[in-house]
Amino acid sequence: MLAKIWSSAVVGLDALPIEVEVDVSSGGLPAFNIVGLADRAVEESKERVRAAIRNSGASFPAKRITVNLAPADLPKEGPSYDLAIAIGILIASEQLKADVSKFLFSGELSLDGKLRFTNSILSQAILAREKKFEGFFLPKINAKEAASIKGINIFPSEDLTQIFLHLIDQVKIEPQTFNDEVSDQEDFIYDFKDIKGQEQARRALEIAAAGSHNVIFKGPPGAGKTLLSRTLPSILPKMTFEEMVEVTKIYSISGLLKNSGLVSKRPFRAPHHTTSHVGLIGGGTVPKPGEVTLAHRGVLFLDEIPEFQKITMEALRQPLEDGFVSIARAAGRVTFPAHFMLIAALNPCPCGYFGDPTHKCTCAITSVFKYQKKISGPILDRIDIHLDIPAVKTEKLTGDQTFEESAKIRERVQNARDIQIERYKHLNISSNSELKGAELKNFCKLDAESQSLLKVAVEKMRLSARSYYRIIKLARTIADLEISENIKTHHLAEALQYRPKSGIN
Ligand SMILES: [Zn+2]
């Protein structure tokens, strides 16, 4: 007999329906084959399914079993087809009599028939809703994740036996109701109240967080570049529901979600400079997200940016420009979102002390120049805030002066971001940093006084056209932080401080 069960495969971030056909026939010697571009983990499913069926008290048919995963041209990977294959075998061997044509099944089985935590459940739950499946059977441990999607019947299941009994109307599984409770408490390790001094850097990060601007910090070792960057998440605006769903999907397919609902904290990723190209950008036979996608809607912190390989740095151009990465695979390309704030940090020279009044730089002047030039122009072009971080004077470090706490700064950031979300609601962008061309001119009008100030600056500082627009976008954010409808001269004057200084760009 032939049975057909619905399961799904994830391509990029989205799930596609997969029809699992199971044929059990008496002809020939007993065999168990899986066809349809299955990887090793799917192959191994045979042993798990065999043991799970036996250990659940059913019998594994000593017949010829063929499983076809259709469409055949789509690569299938991982253990999530176990459940659909097992249900298919039980139906095709006539041990289970039930109509399952309107249900979706996904989950890895353990040898005793229990359902284990399975990746990519959120994307599959969204598919279940889109394709109007009447119910989605999945591992109980994934229930919170799937329940963050409204409008589907979720059946959180402990094991194969429970689903069997549910399908023959013996013991019903209680459907999980919609629950948009977020997974992680927003507790932050670092707080700006604990950072001594560095007033200009604190202010720069507040502006960056408000308008989602990219930042580059240059300063000697120990100046606090890393600490400042790691404190940034504590002042980032809250994610919208849609953003949380996007980030959770990414974490779910990457196996970073464990028994939790929506991710509410903006990601902070800090890959080391030895990270491979695929590690940073994404890739693989069945493409997986890289660091740029794991940082989506959050922060990508690249410390010691000149140490990253040139090819890796070049690959950052597309996500910085477009907010996504496109990865080649056997059948076409797959796209992952990669809309992040870049925070880059570098020492001023290989030894770290060029320009430091208290330490002597031991580098040849040519190597200082070469080091700073290692960051490619197109990357620098996409950085709105350039800041030199001086070493903090000892009296500041030991002084008892108190500094503003992150929660207070975050309130201002949130207000400024809310203004932007409202202003750009018809544009499909949410922050000033994303403004381009005509929109920029439309939303960043300058009065006569500001125009003349900028004109003088352009001439005196020999600003490029790119710098010109960067300054206007930044001034827009500074005005939003002040809840000022128009950009005024003092907003522009402050924005001008964050242009690149001599040395780089
Ligand atoms: Zn040096």
Domain boundaries, the chain: 2-167, 192-496
User: What's the CA-to-centroid distance between 447 and ligand 1, angstroms?
Assistant: 44
For 494, half-sphere exposure in the C-beta direction (CA atoms, 13 angstrom radius) is 18
Q: Answer whether 30's CB lies under 8 Å from 60's CB.
A: no
pLDDT for the residue numbered 437: 81
In CATH, 192-496 is 3.40.50.720 = no
Residue 495 structure tokens: 């924005």
Q: In angstroms, how far is CA 125 from the centroid of its own chain?
A: 19
Residue 12 CB neighbour total at 10 angstroms: 22
User: What's the CA-to-centroid distance between 351 and ligand 1, angstroms?
Assistant: 4
User: What's the CA-to-centroid distance between 353 and ligand 1, angstroms?
Assistant: 5
| Nearest CA-CA partner of 368 in 388, 350, 345, 355 | 350
User: What's the CA-to-centroid distance between 58 and ligand 1, angstroms?
Assistant: 72
Q: Do domains 2-167 and 192-496 have the same CATH topology?
A: no
Residue 264 structure tokens: 């509410």
pLDDT for the residue numbered 202: 94
User: What's the CA-to-centroid distance between 341 and ligand 1, angstroms?
Assistant: 29
User: What's the CA-to-centroid distance between 367 and ligand 1, angstroms?
Assistant: 8
User: What's the CA-to-centroid distance between 365 and ligand 1, angstroms?
Assistant: 8
Residue with tokens 């967080």: 209
Q: Which residues of 208-246 are buried (b: 16+ CB within 10 A; e: fewer)?
A: bbbbbbbbbbbbbeebbbbebbbbbbbbbbbbeeebbbb
Q: Answer whether 147's CB lies under 8 Å from 178's CB.
A: yes
Dihedral of alpha carbons 24, 26, 30, 35, sign: negative
User: What's the CA-to-centroid distance between 220 and ligand 1, angstroms?
Assistant: 9
d(CA 388, CA 52): 61
User: What's the CA-to-centroid distance between 307 and ligand 1, angstroms?
Assistant: 15
pLDDT for the residue numbered 504: 41
User: What's the CA-to-centroid distance between 360 and ligand 1, angstroms?
Assistant: 8
User: What's the CA-to-centroid distance between 347 and ligand 1, angstroms?
Assistant: 9
User: What's the CA-to-centroid distance between 223 and ligand 1, angstroms?
Assistant: 15
Q: Answer whether 34's CB lies under 8 Å from 21's CB.
A: no
d(CA 185, CA 264): 8
Q: Give me the helices (H) in 32-120, please.
A: 40-43, 45-55, 82-92
pLDDT for the residue numbered 505: 38
Q: Answer whether 441's CB lies under 8 Å from 450's CB.
A: no
User: What's the CA-to-centroid distance between 376 and ligand 1, angstroms?
Assistant: 20
Q: Answer whether 490's CB lies under 8 Å from 454's CB.
A: no
Residue 240 structure tokens: 């919208």
d(CA 259, CA 156): 12
User: What's the CA-to-centroid distance between 302 and ligand 1, angstroms?
Assistant: 20
DSSP SS3 for 392:
coil
Position 411, amino acid: E
pLDDT tens string, the chain, 505 residues long: the values are 899 999 999 888 899 999 999 999 998 889 999 988 777 777 889 999 999 999 999 999 999 999 999 998 887 888 999 999 999 999 999 999 999 999 999 999 999 999 999 999 999 999 999 999 999 999 999 998 898 888 889 999 999 999 999 999 999 999 888 777 765 566 788 999 988 888 899 999 999 999 999 999 999 888 889 999 999 999 999 998 889 999 999 999 998 887 778 888 899 999 999 999 899 999 887 788 999 999 999 999 999 999 998 888 888 999 998 899 998 877 678 899 999 999 999 998 998 888 888 888 999 988 888 888 888 788 888 899 999 988 776 556 566 778 899 999 999 999 999 999 999 999 988 999 999 888 888 899 888 898 899 899 888 888 888 888 889 999 999 999 999 998 999 999 999 999 876 544 3
d(CA 15, CA 30): 33
User: What's the CA-to-centroid distance between 352 and ligand 1, angstroms?
Assistant: 5
Residue 157 structure tokens: 């299941």
User: What's the CA-to-centroid distance between 369 and ligand 1, angstroms?
Assistant: 10
User: What's the CA-to-centroid distance between 204 and ligand 1, angstroms?
Assistant: 26
Direct distance between the N- and C-terminal alpha carbons of the chain, in angstroms, rounded to an integer? 70
Residue with tokens 């596609």: 16
Dihedral of alpha carbons 452, 456, 461, 465, sign: positive
User: What's the CA-to-centroid distance between 487 and ligand 1, angstroms?
Assistant: 40
CB within 5 A of ion ligand 1: which residues?
349, 351, 354, 361, 363
CATH of domain 2-167: 3.30.230.10
User: What's the CA-to-centroid distance between 348 and ligand 1, angstroms?
Assistant: 7
According to DSSP, the β-strands at 215-218 and 385-388 are parallel
Residue 43 structure tokens: 């192959």
pLDDT for the residue numbered 394: 59
